[in-house]
Structure 1
């Protein structure tokens, strides 16, 4: 039953390992395209974006000057929070995938801000088969990310922040969910009234350590890619137009196993040798937001610049509207994101309530 999938993940052939990774994790990020193109790595769900606003702007928000932005993009943005904010987001994806966000952010004292969020991603209706290829049942996967972020403004032009994220992946009921802890650090500099620059390092120390002993498997470690982001934002037309851009340098550690024959006094012996190597990936993002009316914002962006050719791009468009309800400020946002390679559309909606 389920043990076939997990055994293939930790002890089967290379082909089965790749298949299991795609089923368990990679499908959350992009369906049936190649693993590199679709970012089908560990914790891929946590790199799709956070809310309709961020996705519509191509996720180029590391230096976002907005007073209210998800701390996932940079915890150093939290001190700019205008007030207490509760938001909920949901994305409609193809290939039986799902993605939801819950977030709370608030100012803390005169110079600080705090944020708490929960992200869930899953894949449903996975066709489960045994080692003979006979269909056995329908499987599903779930992944969660619980984050606590804090930021402080040390000067009018300088803010620093950090985020602790607890990741959890639940693939099969026979094995306990695996957990990992990641650390983000960010800094933001307000260079001029119009120009803001920022940098962030994300998912330091984050990894999953699998143990499939309950079903006769082995152990395996999957490390999250460490991402270094540098970007800026610039305001035009009395701040009605915002331009954003950033560059991300991504480092991923991989292990490669190979057979080695050693000549000993007792004769030749075959041993398995494990080598570690580092993969580097460079990509860019751009976004623009225009406010034609006080209650309306139009947004657009492009993610994954420099990844493969134009088929690897992730363009997006969206809008946001706001409406006051008594003392409450209600904002609704929508984003349509074209996924790379498979060219299906991710529809994301966000509702924000300012208390």
Structure 2
């Protein structure tokens, strides 16, 4: 039995550490589930979202965009995925305007923004096999990230922000006696958003500062090891504009890291009717599409978003559904 579990450790664990999202993101590097996109707006626009404003998704891609939140907005999102994988996202964003008393008695608002989100990814039915290829178990993996964003508008044309990530990765029942293997980490993103003229935004962000998984299998196996998997440090630059045509938003991003070659993202959103918008994009050459429908739900405005994206590999496309409402 010990030999069998050591075989599992040698063959399966390195794959498990990156499997949940590796087919849709830069596989092979820790934290891939945080590079899968989050909800329908940004997915439909090819993830070209570093300079897009006004919603919780923008605050995730660029912390400084939290200052542009329109009202108080809640997002709930799920997606269909192949290979027994699941992914869900929940987000909230709002502007914050604490006041300070000026010497002349007037009150000057300090424009800021706050966003909170939760990202969950899992993979089930992962087969454990020994060196002879005989299956002796089935396993699963779960990753979770709680994200808290705060942003401040320093000037009418300049906003800055930061996001703190509390991240956990768990493999239930992986040890010799069914113990769990869990690692936790804290990461930081920082971003800036510039508005050089009305209807034009420039964004920049640096992601995954300090984020890493530290694995220690010694409590689980007789011959365990300790491994540190750093998240790739990622930078993004983006531009977005609404000046070219009424109701049309265009965006473009470039993303880079020391771990992989630069990637390019393009997106467009067109408000075809007061309640209907159409979206499209290119995610590093992969086409994406989507649409949304806004309606009144009681005293609140609610919107249903849908996005479809092909996968880089020969798998079924991904369907992303998001429900959003403001209050």
Pairwise same-fold verdict (TM > 0.5): yes
Asked if 1:290 corresponds to 2:262, the answer is no
Alignment of 1:111-150 (within 5 A): 111-150=111-150
Pick from 215, 220, 224 the counterpart of residue 227 of structure 2: 220
Task: Specify which of 18, 24, 43 is matched with residue 25 of structure 1.
Answer: 18
Q: Is 1:55 the equivalent of 2:27? A: no
Could you tell me which residue of structure 1 aligns to residue 214 of structure 2?
A: 209
| Separation in 2, partners of 1:185, 1:72 | 11
State the Cα distance separating 1:133 from its structure 2 match.
Answer: 2.5
Q: Quick one: which of 182, 195, 218 aligns to 2:187?
A: 182
1: CA distance, partners of 2:2 / 2:15 = 16
Seen in structure 2, the aligned counterparts of structure 1 residues 302 and 20 have a Cα distance that, compared at 3 Å, is: farther
Whether contact under 8 Å (1:6, 1:172) holds in the other structure is no
Query: Is the partner of 1:247 in helix, strand or coil?
Result: strand
TM-score, normalised to structure 2, is 0.88
Post-superposition offset of 1:6 = 7.3
Whether 1:85 and 2:73 are equivalent positions in the alignment is yes
**TM-score, structure 1 length as denominator?**
0.81
Deviation at 1:98, TM superposition (A): 0.5
Following superposition, the deviation at residue 68 of structure 1 comes to 5.3
**Contact persistence 1:24–1:171 (CA under 8 A):** no
Tell whether the 8 Å contact from 1:149 to 1:163 is kept in structure 2 after alignment: yes
Write the deviation string for residues 71-118 of structure 1: whole angstroms up to 9, x where unpaired: 210010001111111111001101111000111112111411111111
Q: Where in structure 1 are there 5+ consecutive unaligned residues?
A: 32-36, 252-278, 305-312
Map of 1:1-355 to 2, 5 A cutoff? 12=10, 16=11, 20-30=13-23, 38-66=26-54, 69-109=57-97, 110=109, 111-173=111-173, 174-214=179-219, 215-216=221-222, 217-236=224-243, 239-251=246-258, 279-304=259-284, 313-355=285-327
Q: CA deviation at 1:184?
A: 0.2
1:206 Cα deviation after fit: 0.4
Deviation of the 1:183 alpha carbon: 0.4
Does the C-alpha gap of structure 1 residues 352 and 171 become closer, same or farther in structure 2, counting only changes over 3 Å? same
Tell me the residue number matched to 1:262: none
SS at match of 2:21: helix
May I ask how many residue pairs the two structures share in their alignment?
308
- Please report the RMSD computed on the Cα atoms of aligned residues, expressed in angstroms: 2.1
Instruction: Tell me if the contact between 1:198 and 1:230 (Cα under 8 Å) persists in the aligned partners.
Output: yes
Against the structure 1 CA distance between its residues 179 and 40, is the aligned structure 2 distance closer, same or farther, given a 3 Å change threshold? same
Unaligned 5+ segments in structure 2 are 98-108, 174-178
**Matched residues in 1 for 2:204 and 2:6: separation?**
38
Q: Which runs of 4+ in 1 moved over 4 A?
A: 1-9
Segment drifting more, 288-297 vs 319-328: 319-328
Question: Secondary structure in 2 aligned to 1:25?
Answer: coil
